[in-house]
Each structure stands twice: as structure tokens, then as C-alpha cells.
Amino acid sequence: MLQHLDLSNNSLIDRIPGELFGMKQLLSLYLNGNMLSGEMPKQISSQLENLDLSENHLNGSIPEDIGNFKNLLKLDLSHNSLSGSITSKLFQLHDLRHLSLSSNYLSGVIPDEMDLFSLYDMDLSHNQLTGSIPKGFQYLPGLHALDLSYNQLSGDISKSIEYLRPRNTLRLCSNKFSGRISSEFVKLTYEVNCFDESNLCSTSNNRKLLRSQHLIIPIVGVGLAIQLSWIFYRTRKHWWKTKKQNVKDDMKFISFQKLKVTTEDILSSLKDKNIIGNGGSGKVYRVVIDQTGNTYAVKSIGHGEKSGGRPQKEFLVEVRTLGSIRHNNIVKLICCISSLDRKLLVYEYFEKQSLDKWLHRKKSVVSSGQSSTPALDWQKRLKIATGAAQGLCYMHHDCTRSIIHRDIKSSNILLDSEFNAKIADFGLAKILSRRDDNPETVSAIAGTFGYIAPEYASTFRVNIKTDIYSFGVVLLELTTGRQPILREDQMNLAQWAQQRYRDGNFIVALDEEIMETSNVEQMRGVFKLGLMCTGASPSSRPSMKEFVRIVLTLSDTPDGAGSSRTNRLLGSQASEDEVNMTS
């Protein structure tokens, strides 16, 4: 008799079989950390006590039949693409102790009627919930932690907080509350808290001012001068102390993952000797936490006064984008730390670093004087191309609103210990307002020279095909081993590759360092895909769904038997002014 089923952190795809929710004896079901898509099963009549579907691609609304989970103790649907309102039946599960619906696209108001007598913690953060905080929260006697941050909740916060009685954690920041409450009350009441500064006020400063007024006694001569000097000294000292304290208090810590790390752990490791990268928006540090032994990559972004606030905008874009999506081929944002003069983004760290350092290692070795690293063999390159494509496919097709990266390049594809691709650096990402292929106008060009689609550079208009062009350049890097800009030929890699193909001599364009008889057909197939992705007409470029389907066919045919299938699938899309994809 099966009572516990754990299929978490695999690569499961497609819909969740409805039969799983109908298994009468099943008590625990863990499907988190996969690539499951579609809607949750509608018919639910299970005796489940623990259900974890987090970190998948589920969409649609939370089914009404969720109320049939009468024995449910833990429910985690976080980090999906669920939309619609929260059904009131979910808040009638009397035995539920742990509830997380964070990082979805849930909207509407929070149900007011709550029969959650056993609830210990609730996380509804990073959604699109509106309305005021319902009074029903005051009837949750065992509530220990509540996170409603990053929504669109409104109302007078001084009145709303009367209904909230979590014992330890209360997070209400990044909403639209009016009014103010005492910051001293918040600090004394909640060990972990997050409130917008505009909703806090200080009562201690007023008391200190009143106390200082009693010291100003009418005296004459030298006595008055001494007294005034003393007051000036004390006031200045207090001002400096308060300023330092305010900077410390302003430091906001927002976590997107479960981790044992503090702000002090991160800040103490931001030293020059730990710098592993230096870009236009800031520095990247390698941070090792001694207590846990975990390693993180920390991106430090300045306040941006000298650059029109661009770093600040990139910080907000990256937090909003990565804070709401989860995929095995997209880098995970662990937490972010924000203060008046510094923004920190903390990611998982990858020892293999970025793809460009492996593909273009000869140039980096010459410039740094380091010993040579082995060439990246073809099977690893094909694995990287497939993984990066699956990450892009999720962004373009599986999110509620399509996300375009706008800076896809080999240096923004990180590699884990098994050479799995992780798309990184979402500072220039854009969430499209509609799901069709019609391009949207932007105010400025973003991206990297050599990867920017020609129509984007000339019209300032973008859609998902803009990313596909950039990804095509990465494919050409993988198959040729060449840089995106060929200075000796005074052209970019896409132009160079198209020229070699037209000359009928493209086989010499492939990277001879790794080319073998057993993989030449696969390399030729991916090279052709790169040509198609970098074609002049955006409409003729394959979608990422099409690309993933084709490259998986290539991966399943090591001898290259899938090459003709690749030509059949894509050859019909090529227009007369582009390369002919048939052999």
C-alpha cells in the first residue's frame, strides 16, 4: 500500500495525472522542482496530508475541489504560474498548518472567512492580491508567521494590523497601504518583519526632543555659553549615532529560498580578494559562509546616481523577474539585500562559471597567463544548448506573460558541476504586455554588440524573436568555437557563418578541435539551427518550442540521422532571401 510518493527535483514534464489525487491511501505527494505544466486536476478526493507542487510550471486557477483535502496539513503551490482568485474553500481546511502560495499570479481579495484554527504559517507574497487585510486573520490563534509582501494590498495599515497576530514574523512591505505605525512597536513585536518606510513613524525621537528641552534653562553669561555648547555637542553626537542606526535599519533582507545566512554574513565577505567579475552595473563576489560551507555569488549594484538610475532599475527588474519564476535552467535568486546606497543580489554559485570562459578559453588564458583548460567536448555543448533552450522556452511560452531576456549571450549562461545550463543576469529583461508575436517599442537598445538582432537595433522594437537571434549567435559559438565579433574579418559571427554557408564550404566553419566523425552530423544540424535563428526575417526564426523539439531529436540520434528531419522541419520556413536549410 503506497502512502508516500516523492518524485521531487527530477525533470518530469506534461500534466499531473489526475489519478494521483484519487489514490485513497496516499498520504504524502512531493512533485516539487520539476517542469510539470497545465492546470491542477479538478477532481480531488484524496486523503493527502502533505502536498508539495512548488517550483513547476502549473497554470490556471486553484480548483474549488481543493476543499476536499480535509486531512491536509501542508500545502505548497509556490513558484508556479497560477492565476485567478484564491478560492474560499482553501481557507476552510481546519487541520492545515503550513500554506504557501507565493510567487504566482493570484489576484483578487484574500478570503475573509477563515477556518484555519491549526495554521502555523502562511505565505501569499509575490502575487497580485488586492483589497484590504481581512478581519478573519484575528481568529487564527496559532499563527506564527505571515507574509503578504509584494502584492497590491491597500487600506490604513494602523487599522489593518489590529487583525494580525502572528507571534514571530510579519511581512507587509511592497504593498499600497496608507497610514503609519510605530517602528518601535514593529521591532518589539515581530522578530522578523518587513514594512515600507513610508508606513513607519518613530515615537522615540519626539520623547528625546521633549527631554532635551528641559535642559535649556535660562542662564546668563558663561553659564549660558557652556550650556549651549554642551547641547550642540550632544545633539551632533546623537545625530551621527542616529544616522548610522538609520542606515543599518534601512538594510532590507528579502529571502526567496530557505537558507541559513544573515545580512552580516554577506556584507562581511564583500572584499576585493573575493571579486570574480566586474560589469557595468557593479561587481560580483564569491562568498563562502563559514558556518554552513555554502558558496554564493553576490552581485553588488551601486545607487546609480551617475548613470541615470539604470543600476537601480536593473535591480528592481531582476528581483521582480527572478522572484516570480522557477526553472531548472534559470539561475535561482536566493535573496536580495537593499539599503540606501547599495543593492545586493545573492545567487547560487557555479564553480564552472560561464559558457564563454569555456568556449573562448584560449584568449582568456593568453591574457591571464593561466594554464590551459580542456576543450568543451561536443556532447557537453549539445547538452548546454538544449538546457539553455528549455529555459528560454519556459520564459517565452510557459509564463503567464512572456518574458524576454534581451541580453542572451555565452557569458550569461552559467554552468553547474554537471554542465547544465543556467540562464543568468535578468537586469535587462522585459515582461511583455501581450502573448502574441507583435513587437513592442522600447525607449533604448539593451544588449551586447554581436548578439543584438538587426531589426531591434534599427526599429527599437522587441519580441521573443529578439532573444532567438541572440540565442542563434550562442549556437554558432558552440559549433564554431569563435567569438561573436570577428575583428580580423570586420564582421559579426552571424554574418561570417551565413557567408560560409552560401559559399558551400560551411563544414570548415565547424570547430575542428572537437569535430569527429561521430558528431559531425549533429554539429552541422545545430549550426544550421544557428543560421535559421539569426536569419534576417524575424518571422522565419523558429520559436523556442520548435527549437527544443528539434534539438531533442538531434540528441536522440548520435549518428546524425535526425539531420534530415531538422531540414524538413525548418527548411520550409526559410524565405528566399535567407539561407537554404536543405542539404
Q: Provide the annotated binding site for ATP.
A: 299
Please identify which of the residues 356, 398, 407, 511 carries the catalytic annotation: 407
Between the alpha carbon of residue 22 and those of residues 17, 304, 323, 398, 431, the distances in Å are 10, 54, 33, 27, 37
Nearest to 495 by CA among 478, 509, 512: 509
DSSP 134: P
For the chain, what's the residue count? 583
Return the bridge partners of 330, or none.
Answer: 423
Strand bridging mode 121-123 / 98-100: parallel
Cβ within 8 Å of residue 18, ≥6 positions away: 41, 42, 43
- C-alpha 467/C-alpha 396 separation (Å) is 9
Is residue 472 within 8 A of residue 531, CB to CB? The reply is: yes
DSSP for 47-75 reads --SEEE--SSEE-SPPPGGGGG-TT--EE
Q: Angle, to 10 degrees, between the axis of helix 493-502 and the axis of helix 464-480?
A: 70
- C-alpha 304/C-alpha 281 separation (Å) is 8
- State the distance between the two ends of the chain, measured CA to CA, in whole angstroms: 56
Q: Which residues are annotated as a binding site?
A: 299
Is residue 68 within 8 A of residue 90, CB to CB? The reply is: no
For 466, the grid coordinates are 529578439
Nearest to 486 by CA among 520, 371, 380, 476: 476
Q: Is 422 helix (H, G, I), strand (E, B) or coil?
A: strand
Is residue 340 within 8 A of residue 382, CB to CB? The reply is: no
| 407 flagged as catalytic | yes
**363-399 burial, b if ≥16 CB within 10 A, otherwise e?**
eeeeeeeeeeeebbebebbbbbbbbbbbbbbbbbbbb
DSSP 119: -
SS3 content of the chain, % helix, strand, coil (to 5): 35, 20, 45
Q: Angle, to 10 degrees, between the axis of helix 520-533 and the axis of helix 544-555?
A: 170
Q: Which helix (H) or strand (E) segment is 265 a member of?
A: helix 263-267
Q: Which residues are catalytic?
A: 407
